[in-house]
Amino acid sequence: MFIDLQQSEQFIMTNDTLKQASLKKTPLIKAHQNMGAKLVDFGGWNMPIHYGSQIDEHHYVRKQAGMFDVCHMTIVDLRGSEVVAYLAKLLANDVAKIADKPGKALYSCMLNNSGGVIDDLIIYSMESTWVWVVVNSATREKDIAWMRTQIGSMAVDLNERDDLAMIAVQGPDARKLAAQALGDEIAGAQELKPFNALLINAGAENERFVARTGYTGEDGYEIVCANDQAEAMWNQLADAGVKPCGLGARDTLRLEAGMNLYGNDMDENQSPLESGLSWTVDFNNEQRQFIGREALEKQKKQGLKYKFVGLILKGKGILRAHQKVMLEGAGDDTNEGELTSGSFSPTMQQAIGFARVPVETGDSCLVEIRKKQLAAQVVKLPFVRQGKILVN
């Protein structure tokens, strides 16, 4: 049989190419390809890990302005007369803080009955009976299924807004450059305070939602627009000098900023109380029986066994998730903890990480790396915010 090799090459795909073809794509996929992004599988999505240098991208965000494709995040639209009552049950933080304050944002965990974290999310108040909830891409299906189940007979309508895209613009120059690039598209956003948002041109074709939030420890915006307008916005921002950045830089930036990553630093088997997220749990209203409250109150009464801390490796090496942490001089498993996240910090030029350790842990510990026990300093998070190193 004669085979035309030139013709067959047009149809033969490698396993890697087949896998990449099966991945979900954001509206910015062509822009990433045009800009030379290294694309990887991230929770079933074809996403950029970097555009040449993860380190350069990290420093650009700390010193100037970078942008990230976060279109894979899920915006859940909740409306109805019982939205506030529903969220009071669903979330560990109290949405009553922002219910009557359109534009206000609130960070919270959504818990299971045993107090484990189903997901961490941000809630934006749109109107008194309307909110947006932004959930993580890797947990979108289980999140939405859980949220639908908890509605029951309450007057709440839930809709996934898969018609919308989101771009995060982060860094000390982010808001200035975004205003230069987008002008009237985000008019009024310059007046936003941190953790506030603004809906611009509501109901129009060029509707924009701009939030002064982010996941890097720097100032900036997260901007929402229609899917078919995302690529043009991305290119406008790039033309204004905002550097495209990938998932690699996003991870080291959030790590330096002391921001948890779902699936690493907390999950359904860990409560927020032992994950550095006690501040997101509101026990003040005794009448508000949110899901998981009873389990958390029991945990508090019995006394926490672990605490969530930052670690700085004193010598050479890299901290990674799942490395064993030990108290100095300890000889049994009850005095062990574990790294949940870790990497090299481009800003600090040191290996840093998060760890869940016994509550009696002091200001130093040992980390097991390649069968060697290396000394580490225990510090309070975050490591870096607004470009400044906060630990010694």
Tens-place pLDDT, residues 18-31: 566 789 999 999 99
* pLDDT for 16: 58
Question: pLDDT tens-digit profile of 121-180?
Answer: 999 999 999 999 999 999 999 999 999 999 999 999 999 999 999 999 999 999 999 999
pLDDT of residue 99 exceeding 80, the answer is yes
Residue ranges of the chain assigned to CATH 3.30.1360.120: 14-70+163-255
Q: Where in the chain is the domain with CATH 2.40.30.110?
A: 305-392
Residue 322 above 60 pLDDT?
Answer: yes
Summarize the confidence of residues 59-65 as an average pLDDT.
98
Quick one: average pLDDT of 332-340? 83
Asked if pLDDT for residue 331 goes beyond 70, the answer is no
As assigned by CATH, the class of the 14-70+163-255 domain is alpha beta
pLDDT tens, position by position, 173-193: 999 999 999 999 999 999 999
Residue 262, beta-bridge partner list: 266
Does residue 381 register a pLDDT over 80? yes
Q: What is the pLDDT of residues 204-252, one digit of tens each?
A: 999 999 999 999 999 999 999 999 999 999 999 999 999 999 999 999 9
Q: Model confidence at 11, in pLDDT bands (50, 70, 90)?
A: very low
- 9 pLDDT above the threshold of 60: no
Taking residues 346-371, report their average pLDDT: 97
Task: Give the mean model confidence (pLDDT) for residues 319-337.
Answer: 83
For residue 329, the model assigns a pLDDT of 66
Q: What is the pTM of this model?
A: 0.93
Instruction: Assess whether pLDDT exceeds 90 at residue 328.
Output: no
pLDDT at 21: 75
Confidence of residue 10 (pLDDT cuts 50, 70, 90): very low
Q: Which CATH number fits domain 305-392: 2.60.120.260, 1.10.490.20, 3.40.50.970, 2.40.30.110?
A: 2.40.30.110
pLDDT (0 to 100) of residue 383: 98
What integer is the mean pLDDT of 335-346?
96
Q: Is 7's pLDDT higher than 90?
A: no
Label residue 392 by pLDDT band (50, 70, 90): confident
Residue 356 has pLDDT above 80, yes or no: yes
pLDDT of residue 341: 98
- Mean pLDDT (the chain) is 94
pLDDT-derived band at 13, boundaries 50, 70, 90: very low
List pLDDT tens digits, range 311-320.
999 999 999 9
